[in-house]
Structure 1
């Protein structure tokens, strides 16, 4: 899930920042023989700042002229269009007081003001886009969980019930495809077919693969069909949030990125419903059974609906701009905004941003950008933090429950129907507790949510595993196992559920964000496959007590990794993020240790003494700065806080 780069606006980039990247590791950071490391750092900082808002610092007269020149070059030469672009360019720069722009009509001023006071007030077509994106997320969720109930039957039908590795390989096939192929074909598909086209193709592949799975008769045939499903899951999961973000007004983009997580949880729940609904269907002479075939095939229904409706939506205006189809871009965005001034503002800004991205890419080069992910400390630390949260999204153990909960509940002593019903309960909890994440992620912060939920997830994983030691004839045996799984779902949904993709999209500088998100997406799909592959064998070898304890231990490790290596990103400007991530890892880990000690003394021992630790990137002095310089800069940042865009 990628947060669009247009979301980042920082007014302070009209001047050269006095907060350079700081001390980087020098090895491999020079793009040419004559570039010093410090010059390279400044160049990358300026590139990132330029991408944050390429219009900052320009006068109204110059912006008005640029808007008119762009409209003429795009062939939008009517008086109404020229006026819209002149005003739109001014508004795009620094969001002035609309009442001060006498050229605006009362209607335009009202609509622009309502963007702040009523951000969910938008044209119906925008909500149609949201509905299609939500359906795509539901397709994703169903694709992931209909196998949960179906495997109860097809592993017996295929004769692999005793081969745990084959069961895991078959179940994990789509995620293997996503990791090694699906994630990497997304960009070429988007360039060739557009956002709508990629979504259509991905959902068509998903529908065909689901239909194919319903007609398989051997495990290897099922493996091939499910591997093919990965070509639908990967591009769809990467493209849909981008499509929603590119069509949305700036203030709504963050909420729409979060919609993906919530409606995927809804699709997971519907997948459990399908498993339970088709369970009692008799075979009716169908070889190897009918009910599991209907379960596997049911996920094609929302995919077909998306294919039927997606082309009613306008294409992404940003994609049209990449193809130099400016008139079509303007026609598209006019369907998504109430007034042409809004449409002109967003289109002109997107066009200017694309030009800045092209210049940054040309000056740095793709190879250098990939290299700089690893060689520049600020980027490398962002990658480490992003990879930690993406890896732990899988190794917290949530998809063990999502994919195998029916088998887990059967192991606990439930009947097949009871196991499917209990799995549905987990799906309902996962969906309902994903809804508050809209509030918690921007209120409590990413790091705080993770530090709070990892210990709780570990506790509930241990609780679930140890509950298998309760005697089978005790009512507490089944009750405690279900309770542990449900409590785990409650704390996962606002923590490791929404945080990883949101965090990864914020952590990287804008000029390498696309590359960083590719690494992040491939990481989560690869370890998703590892999870699906290994769980059946782990359950057999370690028994439920050991298998659940394994992931409980990983949640403890996840807590420590976040404590020592993952800084907070909530509501930080680009300069603040540069400071936070450009810190030596030893200092960052020392901060984590101090923070843990302070928390223990303050909230466990109830001691009121001691000052709360400050992250090294937010301390008052850096080794290359004087105190006066830093305090002066900080005063400027505070003064501009309300206007500075947040990443």
Structure 2
């Protein structure tokens, strides 16, 4: 039976994949919006804790006697923890639930931030940042999955990518607070401690707020807790829609009952699962090879190297944060209209172009204000393209492409590879710049982005317009590549 016939047969089976009632507005839709706001405080913490180092390094160098080597180790240490958190916490959330996992992460965020603030040495700070990274990596896996599982199909793209909006908002907050604190307490050796302590506030808000958030209905149903799943769905859908969605998820859960809790080894039992894992890992690596975090972590230093003073670089860096937020907001408006794959292709074309322009500006323009201004313009354009397309789309696709019983394990491995790539880029960026120059570094990024574009064009399918259950059907039969999304 070919892919088309298989899909039609599945759709025609009684009780399978019936069209869902249309979405309606009401108290349930407001409730869903509130749940998304609370859960995405995990994304806000993700953004602040990764972005705060940008601007704090100068103060840390004098306060902790950092050398270039120890600076690189301390900066990238968070990413080691993030890789571990992404790999293990995804599977923990499969076992104990999305809600308690996020609450535990909030506790880790709080205590790790406090430990970082009181760090007496760079070694202590490095350990604190590794622990903080565990929470960052765990949030990067668990929050998008939770949002995907509570979202209706029609709203999933916008709801899940709100987490990316909160990530860049957290980074903007870090850049802005760094600029303010750096101006008020300029020259103070311990000013970086004031920058870091701010992160405890959203951690407290996340922990308290999650008490008002229900568990994922899809996770509940996968554990046989059908009555609880229906209760949750009725809180965030109209009654008829809730019952219909429960039937759809039950169909899938019945098919997977024999598998119980999925393991990573299950991905290697079937060719379509292996391909899914390859796509997920490839997307995670490709997102980080854009070089976005060379700007988010070292943006102030890049601008200083281009000709800005330290104070001017701190202020100019806020511009990148503002553009990132605006770009994500714009992307949210169009992500469902144009599709995930289209956004990725456009994004990698754009990042390639702006990497080339940054490199050429550094080569062709003489040192001074004109070069600094042009580099700033192209950096901002690069950030706008990346954060408006590739950034949110990759997180969205990772949260939706894996089967329900393997979602935590699959996303955990994909995001592990994402964070390891982030670590490699973060650790290597200052070394490559010192050895080969800023222009050569960005030419290398351009070549890597061309490779990522080829990967997307040849491998990544469109997932827009399909429910999570339809996606699983269509990936398993191959219809994801041959049949357009079915209308609800």
Q: Given the two structures, how large is their TM-score scaled by the length of structure 1?
A: 0.67
Deviation for aligned residue 1:558: 1.9
What's 1:295 paired with?
Answer: 195
Cross-structure match for 1:185: 89
Q: Residue 51 of structure 2 corresponds to which residue in structure 1? A: 145
Of the candidates 24, 40, 61, which is equivalent to residue 134 of structure 1? Answer: 40
Post-superposition Cα deviations, 1:472-523, rounded to whole Å, max 9, x if no partner, equal 34x3121101011011012112332122233345555667555432321111
1:170 aligns with 2:81: no
Choose the corresponding residue for 2:382, options 478, 485, 488: 488
Correspondence 1:480-629 to 2 at 5 A: 480-505=374-399, 507=401, 513-571=407-465, 577=475, 618=482
Question: What residue number does 1:30 align with?
Answer: none
Question: What does residue 65 of structure 2 align with?
Answer: 159
Shift of 1:195: 2.3
Helix, strand or coil at the partner of 1:414: coil
SS in 1 for 2:329: coil
C-alpha distance in 1 between matches for 2:370 and 2:388:
28
- Given candidates 156, 164, 168, the residue that maps to 1:261 is 164
What is the CA distance between 1:560 and its match in structure 2?
Answer: 2.9
Please name the residue that 2:206 is paired with.
Answer: 306
- Name the counterpart of 1:336: 236
Offset at residue 421 of structure 1 (A): 1.2
1:296 is paired with a residue whose SS is helix
- Give the match's secondary structure for 2:390: coil
Mapped pair 1:95 → 2:19: yes
Q: Assess, with a 3 A threshold, how the Cα gap between structure 1 residues 466 and 446 changes in structure 2: closer, same or farther.
A: same
Counterpart for residue 217 of structure 2: 317
Is the 1:214–1:293 Cα contact (8 Å) retained in structure 2?
Answer: yes
Residue 119 of structure 1, CA deviation: 6.0
Alignment partner of 1:642 is 2:487: yes
Corresponding residue of 2:269 = 372
Q: Comparing both structures, which one devotes a greater share of its residues to helix?
A: 2
Query: Matched residues in 1 for 2:438 and 2:137: separation?
Result: 31
Aligned residue-pair number = 483
| 1:149–1:295 Cα contact (<8 Å) kept | no
Partner of 2:366: 471
Structure-2 residue corresponding to 1:109: none
Contact preservation (8 Å) 1:569, 1:577: no
| Inter-CA distance 520–119: structure 2 relative to 1 (3 Å threshold) | farther
Q: Deviations over 1:284-315 (max 9, x none)?
A: 9xxx8331101112122111111122202233
Residue 58, structure 1, aligned to residue 58, structure 2: no
Cα gap change, 1:540 to 1:119, in 2 (>3 Å): farther
Check if 1:460 corresponds to 2:354.
yes
Residue 527 (structure 1) shift: 0.7
Residues 1:384 and 2:278 aligned together: yes
Aligned-partner Cα distance in 2 for 1:184–1:306: 21
Residues 187-218 of structure 1: CA deviation (Å, up to 9, x unaligned): 225533x3222111101211211121111122
1: CA distance, partners of 2:379 / 2:227: 53
Deviation at 1:428, TM superposition (A): 0.7
After superposition, the Cα gap between the structure-2 partners of 1:520 and 1:278, relative to the gap in structure 1 and judged at 3 Å, is: same
Q: Deviations over 1:261-292 (max 9, x none)?
A: 122111111111111121134389xxx83311
Q: CA deviation at 1:229?
A: 0.4
Shift of 1:129: 0.5
Q: 1:331 to 1:456 in 2, by over 3 A?
A: closer
Name the residue aligned to 1:229: 132
The alignment's TM-score, normalised by the length of structure 2, stands at 0.87
1:438 equivalent to 2:332? Answer yes
Q: Is the 8 A contact 1:125 1:313 kept in 2?
A: no
Report if the CA contact (8 A) 1:370-1:515 is conserved.
Answer: no
Pair 1:354-2:273 in alignment: no
| Correspondence for 1:628 | none
- Alpha carbons of 1:511 and 1:133: their partners in 2 closer, same or farther (altered >3 Å)? closer
1:242 to 137, 140, 145: 145
User: Structure 1's 483 and 521: CA in aligned 2 closer, same or farther, altered over 3 A?
Assistant: same
Contact 1:119 1:252 in 2 (8 A): no
**Alpha-carbon shift at residue 412 of structure 1 (Å):** 1.8
Q: Quick one: distance in 1 between partners of 2:242 and 2:341? A: 36
C-alpha distance after superposition, 1:210-256 (max 9, x if no partner): 12111112221111000010221122222222323333334323321
Counterpart-to-counterpart distance in 1, 2:220 and 2:347: 42
Moved more, 175-184 or 347-356: 347-356
Rounded to whole Å, the distance in 1 between the matches of 2:438 and 2:146 is 41
- Decide whether aligned partners of structure 1 residues 411 and 49 sit closer, same or farther in structure 2, where only a CA change above 3 A counts: farther
* Equivalent-residue separation in structure 2 for 1:379 and 1:316 (angstroms): 24
Indicate the structure (1 or 2) with the bigger Cα radius of gyration: 1
**Higher RCO, Cα 8 Å, sep 6+:** 2
| Matching residue of 1:14 | none
Distance 2:56 2:144 in 1: 29
**1:632 is matched with which residue?**
none
Q: Does 1:215 align with 2:171?
A: no
Aligned partners of 1:381 and 1:581 also within 8 Å: no
Q: CA deviation at 1:178?
A: 2.2
